[in-house]
Structures are given as structure tokens and as C-alpha cells.
Chains A and B, each alone.
Chain A
């Protein structure tokens, strides 16, 4: 799987308006670490590779892995394979605060092309994501426990509220802002550069690296909340940790790429079908497949109709929407039997 991921990355990095062969990529990497391979490549290729392509692939990789890991963890937390960060309003709330930040904050930071600007976007999306999580969580608290169905319904309400806020802020934006908001909301990795890769990587890596340590607790959690507690697991702490990690990872992803739907839903599902529901394998498998999927989806988004770029959110929604319907139909037929 790791090899597949590497292969996909090299393929994606080499494909585009300017083609770069795998050998040339190999040679460029060797050159960076001070080795001469004798394979010829142009300076233009080198610049495109290091500055444009690689940062973009790195971003797709980080975001894909983060979204998939968060999806897997959320599904474990809700003990329901249909859960997704977008479902309880994390993604939309994060995007609402980001739009707010783009429209209001542009004056404060004069653009977001600095690392500081990127962090400020991150912080605002994280704040939005965490706010949504906390709100939904508080509403769903019942006698010191979380009621999952209320939580899901609260998620719907939060989604609606965040959507309304986004629309309202969009109304008051000027033309320039409107363009960037609209494009950003469709979900795109077009804005990738090393600055925002550096901006999101601490959050994403914390999320990807942290989740596997919670896998055993998540396994026990699937028995039921009180049953996990009988097994000596601090259930409330587990829930808090997962929510904060997810808010962080999803928040950072949304900050740079907008809402990329269905990765968090589809990827863990497919992985679960292949290697089973045990969370350690599931989370690691999801991280790798999520990265592969998003690198490929991004490749499709920028080459299929080139030179025009189709927002990646459209690609994942096109694939994910029908898959979600298929899952619902499967659930339905199961409950009839």
C-alpha cells in the first residue's frame, strides 16, 4: 500500500501541462540530496516539480489521509458506519468561519499568502470546527452521557445554521472575494503551495499520527458506551480527544481546500470491507487509501478538462454521492430482512 501510494504520487507529480518522467523525478530528488544520476531534465521541469507539483501532491496526500482518518474515527465514535465529519457539521462550520475570515480578515491580514495568514485561516477554521463540535456535543449530553441520535440531529441543525451564515457573509462580499469564496467552497487544491502545506501539516500530522493510538478504545467503544467503560476505558476522555483531533484535522483541511466531501465516508468503508473493522488496521489503511484517493482525484481534477481545473470537491462528490446512496440502499434492504 505504501508502495502504491509512492507510485501514485510520482505519477501525479509527473502528469500535467508539463510532463515529467519518473526517471527525471528520481534524478531531481537525487540532485537535491547531492547525487548526480546523469538523467537529463530541464530547469523548467525542475521548477514545476519542486514548486508546483510536489507541494500540491503533498497537500492532497495530507488532506486525503486526514479526512479519511477522521471519518474512520467518527464512525467509530458514533458506532455507525454512516458517520462523517461533514455529518455533524464540523466541515460546514469550519467553512462558515473561514468565509467569515476571508471576507473580514482580508482587510486585517492583506491576503493569506504568508505563513501567518495561513495560520490565521487555520485557527479560524479550527475555531469553527471546534465550536460546532462542542455545540453539538453539549446539546447531545444527557445525564453525563452522549445521546448519539440527538447528536446527529443537532449536526443537521448546525449544518443549516453554518450554511446560512456562509450565505449571509457571501452576500456582503465584493466581487473579488466572491470569486475566491465560491471557488474555495467547491473544494480545490488549486491554491497549494509550500506555505500552506507547512501551515496545515502540524494539525494534519497530529491528527493522522494520534488516531491510531485510540484504536483499541474505539474497538471497545463499538460494543456500547457503558460497555467500554466496564472495560476500564475513560469514555468521556476518549470522546473529547477524538473530537479535538477531528476538529483540528478537518479544520486545517477545510482552511486550504474547502469542503471536500465523502472522502471521510467512502474511504473507511471500502477499507473496512477489505480488512475488517478492527480500528488500528482500519485507521492506518484509511490514511493510506485516503491519501491515494485524493492524489488521484486531484490528478483527475486538473487533467481531465485541462487547462481548466475542475474543483476536486465535484470529483469526490460525483464518486461519493452514488456510493453513499448505495450504502443507504444496502442498509435499507438489511433492515427489511
Chain B
């Protein structure tokens, strides 16, 4: 489990994050959401060890993240970003093999080759292993990157595999978005712990377990998605009016956004009751 206590990040007198307290349960998918500049990516950078928090601690399975040896951490924690700017014409296989770098020195071991084969089949990239990465489509590239990220932590002990995704699907079309998210969802069933920054409310509702809502560096709400993703919390976080629908045919509720609301109303919390009435009237 990943325990985040009192995290704060301050740079040039500006607080990008303040008093974040969450516990990411092992084997779950936690989505981090919020408007642009809310501190989502900063939080993910702190969790991945990229930057150090100005305040607070992050511990992974009881050990402080900062005290992990570099090598050990790289065999347990992997990060997938939104987009990669690769200019050299590597083959897909070579990119995926890089994910195994923390595991071997010199030549690729048989075990590593097996892991790569397994993951390639799992992610569905076996067919493009020998192709030039630069000639793949955006969705294929992102799947190759996901394969690289997965081989990195694939054989870590159960409960110690941590995957972080920073807007992993923002550059993909709807088909690839769902393909990738479904893939990530099945990871949690294989004892992976997943944290992802997402923009799409419905993707989070459909695939995540827990949700953290951030606004201006502070936590608006954190917990089970059904309890967190309510109309009021979404309005507070994004300054938009949203509605949650519970259609019988779907396995999960879906969210529609009705547009921007008056800023005055959101800034004064007293007005929530009023605006709720407003929406009820509209329905």
C-alpha cells in the first residue's frame, strides 16, 4: 500500500500541493483528477520519486519512498507518460527490452526474454515487435510503451508492483482509450497497484476503484469512486455542472456535464444548496 501523508510541494512561494493525505490500497486502481494546474502531475512526480516533496512523506509498503535504493525501486515501480518524444528509429522490441534494464547486466537473460514474450502477448504487441517504433500509430506506440513499463515490474513480488500513469490515454482516440484502460484494469486483478492521472470523468467512473479529486493543490475528496464522484464534488473541482445517471443497462453510472456554472456560486460554499435546487428544477 502506498501511504501519502501531509504531502506539500512549494516552489517560488507558490503552493502547488498542500496537505494531501491518501492511502492507495494494494491491487486497486486509483484515479487522480482535477482541472489543469490542480497539481495532478506534480503529485504523480512526487509519488514516482521524480521530485521531492517540500513537506510530508510517501511510503510504499511501510518504507519511505526516498530511502529506497535506486535499483530496487526501478524493479518495483514503473511510470507511463502521456507522450514520448523519441527521435531515434528504435525497433519496438528494443524499446520494450529497455524495460528490463534494471534486471540484467550484459546480455538479456532467458527469464527476461520470457517476461517480454508474456507481456507482449498480454498487451497485444507481438505482431509489431520488429517494426520501427517511429512508424507505429499513436495508439500502437503507447501500447509498446505500456509493454515496456509492464516488463519492468512484471516479476516483482505480488503486492509490490506499482504502476503510475500520467494521462496515459489523453493523446489516443476513443477506441484505444478504452482498450488501454481495460488492459490497465485487468492489471489490478494480477496484484498490480495502479495510480493514474485521468481527465475523463467517465473513464474514471468505469475503470477506477478509488478517486482523488484535486483543486488548486488541495484534496477535494478522496475515496471509493461511488462516494467521491457526486455532482457536488465535481462542481467544486471543475467548476462545471454535472449530472450522474444510473441507467439500468450499464454496470456503472455515467456522468454528463451540463456546462460552466457561475463562479460566484462555487466559491461560496453556502450556495451549494441553491444550485442543487436549480438543477433539480431543470430536470
Contacts and interface: CB of A to CB of B under 8 A. Distances in A.
Interface residues of A, number: 21
A276 B101 contact: no
Contacts of A209: none
B32 interface: no
B91 A232 contact: no
A79 B98 CA distance: 15
Main secondary structure of the interface of A (DSSP, over half): loop
A234 B71 CA distance: 10
Nearest to B70: A232
B102 A222 contact: no
A81 interface: yes
A205 interface: no
A220 B87 contact: no
A280 to B, nearest CB: 11
A77 to B, nearest CB: 12
Contacts of A219: 90, 94, 98, 101
Contact of B87 (A79, A226, A231, A232): A79
A230 B99 CA distance: 10
A80 B152 contact: no
Given A231-B152, A232-B73, A232-B74, A220 B88 contact: no
A76 to B, nearest CB: 8
Contact of B79 (A230, A276, A277): A230
Contacts of A278: 90, 94
Interface in A222-242: 222-224, 226-227, 229-234
Main secondary structure of the interface of B (DSSP, over half): mixed
A222 B90 contact: yes
A272 interface: yes
A31 interface: no
Given A231-B98, A231-B99, A232-B70, A224 B85 contact: yes
A230 B86 contact: no
B161 interface: no
A223 B95 contact: yes
A231 B101 contact: yes
A73 B48 CA distance: 28
Of A223, A233, A234, A278, chain B has the most CB atoms within 10 Å of the CB of: A223
B88 A277 contact: yes
A150 B73 CA distance: 31
Contact of A233 (B48, B84, B95, B101): B101
Of A79, A272, A276, A277, chain B has the most CB atoms within 10 Å of the CB of: A277
B274 interface: no
B101 A216 contact: yes
A230 B74 contact: yes
Given A230-B48, A230-B77, A278-B94, A222 B88 contact: yes
Contacts of B94: 219, 276-278
Given A219-B101, A231-B152, A232-B102, 10 more contacts: A81-B87, A222-B88, A223-B98, A229-B50, A230-B48, A272-B88, A272-B89, A276-B89, A277-B89, A278-B90
Interface of A: 79-81, 216, 219-220, 222-224, 226-227, 229-234, 272, 276-278
